[in-house]
Every structure is written in structure tokens, then in C-alpha cells.
Amino acid sequence: MQAIKLTQKRKPLANKHQQLLLYEIRLRLQGGSTLITALQDLIDQEKSVIKIRLQPILLKVKNGNSFSQALYSEKLLFDEIINLIDAGEKSHDLLNAIILSDKLLERIEKKSQLFRQAISYPIFLLLICLSSVIFASYLLIPQLKIISTTNQDLAITTQFFLFLISLSIGQWTLLLLTILFFTSLIFYFRKSYFFSKCILKFGVLGKILLYQDIAHFCHHMSACMKIHLNIPVSLTQSSNLFKLSILKYYSQKTVTAILQGKTLSYALTQHPHLPQTLGQTVEGIRGQKQLGEVFETLATHFEELGKKHLQKIQPFIEPLLTLLIGIIIALFIHAIILPLYDGSIV
């Protein structure tokens, strides 16, 4: 069985709106309402954009589509949340799937906060650096052209910046288009097998992305086990959430091994890019409830590994950025101040 593929380009709701939506649906289901009644009630009460997005979903559910299929068509929630709801419907345990989805959204929000905290200060420094370069290049250094007409003994840094500024608009446009072209290529091929294989070779960065993907996989496997979904479908659902295509590619072989009668432990250990501890830990575990708990523990373990590797590079990011900004400022000082205070020029 294959997970439903996403083809729409509509953006999911914000995390907090998704949590609120699932919370409201959960309350109504726990109160004994049917899914259609719960959705209709939300549409009658909701006054925001969620109401507009829920109306076609309700219509599709009334026409016989599953809730997950309706969500896929509107792309209302994150992929992993819709996959989990789909798994809940297949195991006839939608309420528990929605509860687990709410918990998964909380983890996603925590990861997002951690990421924002990690990059906020470096981005702030880079913006200051870029602003300084633009200000000095287009407001201060051009004034030195007057000096350059009377004296050719300008500092080498001043001549360099004057040369950059003298470049034509066409050259700058060509450079900008080249950068955008290669950025587009990277964005387009970011999910390719080759690109993900290269990413894994980038030392600490590769490990951070690998552990993040594995933790995500384990969280979803844990949720699928807790709602008693069978292992092949759980693996298929969870593997589709891998961001690195190389992990997804070999996961298809893992599912095939399960269908051929191999154990989950054996299938996971045959994956060339998953840590051996993943398969060894689930060895001998039989009940789905126990498997769910084990995968939850593994998810926490790999999240911690990712954080430790992130903490290894964080101490180097700020000093390197500070050094870069210091060098740029020193070059501008040399390019601007030295000519102004050179007695032979003034």
C-alpha cells in the first residue's frame, strides 16, 4: 500500500492554526460527534481563513472521500500530519491519530524554535555586514573619485572598490542572474538522490540532517505503531517523510524485505545509511505497543544526537562571522580613511 502523494501547491496552515484545528476536532469527536458534524460545526463557528479551507474538505468527506484524502487535496496540514491521519483511518483509530498528530505538531514547533534561535544572531550579523558594504560602496567610496582624478596614488583597497563600483549595470545583472540560476538548480535538485548523497558527506552538517530525518521517521513510526497500523504500511508512510532522497530510496527496499517475510530488525539493518543501532534496538520486540515506545525512545535519542552536533558548530559560527565583518570593516577603513588623511592627497 502506498501513501497518498501530494501534488497541490497550496500552503499548509500555520503550525498554531493546525494545532487549534486538530484540538477542536478532537474535542468534538471525544464528545461523540461524527467527523462530518465536527467539520460542519467548525465551519459554522469559524470566521477566519480556516473556514474557507474547510468547506471543500467537508464537501469531499460528504461525497465519500476519506478525511486524509480531503486534506491532501487542499494541503491543509503538514505532510507528516496528513500521513498520520491517513494511518489512523486505515487502522480505524482516527481519534487517537489526531491526538498523536497534535503532539507531533508540538515537536515540530519546538524544532522550529530551536532552528530560529540558532540562525537569528548569524543572520543579524550578516545583515549588518551587508548594510555596511552597501552604504560604504555607494555613498562614501564614490566620493573618492574626485581625489582619484588629481592623484593616482590611492590605496590598493580604494582602487579595488572603485573598480567594483565602476562595473556596468549589465555585468551586475549578469552576476545576479548567474547566482539566481545556480540557486534555482540547487533548489530544484535538492531532493535528488545525488544531491542528498553529497549532503551526507558534509561532515557535521550531514550528520545533523541525517539525525533530524531519522528522528522524524522514528516519531512517525511510533505514532503508527500506537494506532496499530501494520508494519509495511507504517514503514511506507514514515519513509515518505524523509527529506533526503537517498534515505527514501533505500527505504523502499526495506519495505520490500518486510513483505518478503524478513523481520523489521533485519530490514532496518540492511539500510546502508541508517545507523545499525536502529535495527538492533527493535530486535526481539514483538507487540506494536512496545514497538511504539521503542521508536519514541529512538526518536528522542537521535534528536539529542542532532542537537549535540549542532552545538559543535554553533561556537564557530559567531566568531567566524565576527572575523568576516572585522575584515570587511578594516578594508573599508583602509579604503576610505587612508586617502582622506594622506597629506599628499588632501
Query: Which residues touch 171 (CB under 8 Å, ≥6 apart)?
Result: none
User: Are both 204 and 290 inside the same structural domain?
Assistant: yes
Distances (CA, A) of 161 to 124, 321, 323, 341: 24, 21, 20, 18
- What are the φ and ψ backbone dihedral angles of 92, each rounded to 5 degrees? 60, 40
User: Are both 53 and 119 inside the same structural domain?
Assistant: no
Confidence at residue 147, expressed as pLDDT on a 0 to 100 scale: 54
The verdict on residue 92 lying in a domain is: no
CB atoms within 10 A of CB 287: 9
Percent of the chain surpassing pLDDT 70: 75
User: Are both 122 and 32 inside the same structural domain?
Assistant: no
Domain boundary among 77, 97, 116: 77
- E strand segments, the chain: none
The verdict on residue 2 lying in a domain is: no
Averaged pLDDT, 48-56: 80
DSSP 8-class letter at 65:
-
Mean pLDDT, rounded, of the chain? 78
Confidence at residue 6, expressed as pLDDT on a 0 to 100 scale: 40
pLDDT category at 148 given cuts 50, 70, 90 is low
pLDDT in tens, 252-283: 888 888 888 888 888 888 888 888 888 888 88
What is the C-alpha to C-alpha distance for residues 35 and 152, in angstroms, rounded to an integer?
80
Confidence at residue 162, expressed as pLDDT on a 0 to 100 scale: 66
The verdict on residue 90 lying in a domain is: no
What is the model's pTM? 0.69
State the Rg of the chain over Cα. Answer: 27
User: Are both 72 and 110 inside the same structural domain?
Assistant: no
Q: pLDDT at residue 4 above 60?
A: no
Q: pLDDT at residue 1 above 50?
A: no
User: Are both 111 and 72 inside the same structural domain?
Assistant: no
Amino acid at 146: I
For 81-101, b/e burial (b = at least 16 CB within 10 A) is bbbbbbbbbbbebbebbbbbb
Grid coordinates in use for 249? 530510496
* Sole residue written with cell 481519534: 95
- Comparing 39 with 190, the larger pLDDT belongs to 39
pLDDT category at 186 given cuts 50, 70, 90 is low
The verdict on residue 52 lying in a domain is: yes
Q: Looking at the 3D structure of the chain, how many domains does it have?
A: 2
Q: pLDDT at residue 89 above 50?
A: yes
User: Are both 172 and 28 inside the same structural domain?
Assistant: no
User: Are both 65 and 214 inside the same structural domain?
Assistant: no
User: Are both 33 and 182 inside the same structural domain?
Assistant: no
Count the helix, strand and coil residues of the chain and give each as a percent rounded to the nearest 5.
75, 0, 25
- Comparing 187 with 225, the larger pLDDT belongs to 225
User: Are both 21 and 142 inside the same structural domain?
Assistant: no
Question: What residue numbers bound the domain in which 315 lies?
Answer: 106-346
The verdict on residue 57 lying in a domain is: yes
The verdict on residue 315 lying in a domain is: yes
Averaged pLDDT, 39-66: 84
User: Are both 67 and 140 inside the same structural domain?
Assistant: no
pLDDT category at 7 given cuts 50, 70, 90 is very low
How many whole angstroms from its chain centre is CA 124?
A: 20
Confidence at residue 329, expressed as pLDDT on a 0 to 100 scale: 74
Angle between helices 203-226 and 245-259 (to 10 degrees): 40
DSSP 8-class letter at 75:
T
Give the CA angle between residues 260, 266, 269 to the nearest 5°.
130
Handedness of CA 326, 327, 331, 332 (dihedral sign): negative
Grid coordinates in use for 187? 533548489
DSSP string, 138-162: IIIGGGHHHHHTT-S---HHHHHHH
User: Are both 146 and 274 inside the same structural domain?
Assistant: yes
End-to-end CA separation in angstroms for the chain: 80
The verdict on residue 100 lying in a domain is: no
3-class secondary-structure state, position 23: helix
User: Are both 58 and 121 inside the same structural domain?
Assistant: no
Cβ atoms of 253 and 275 within 8 Å: the answer is no
Give the CA angle between residues 86, 88, 89 to the nearest 5°.
65
Q: pLDDT at residue 93 above 50?
A: yes
What is the C-alpha to C-alpha distance for residues 198 and 202, in angstroms, rounded to an integer?
7
Of 262, 198, 197, 195, which Cα lies nearest the Cα of 235?
262
What is the C-alpha to C-alpha distance for residues 10 and 73, in angstroms, rounded to an integer?
9
Percent of the chain surpassing pLDDT 90: 3
What is the C-alpha to C-alpha distance for residues 53 and 34, in angstroms, rounded to an integer?
19
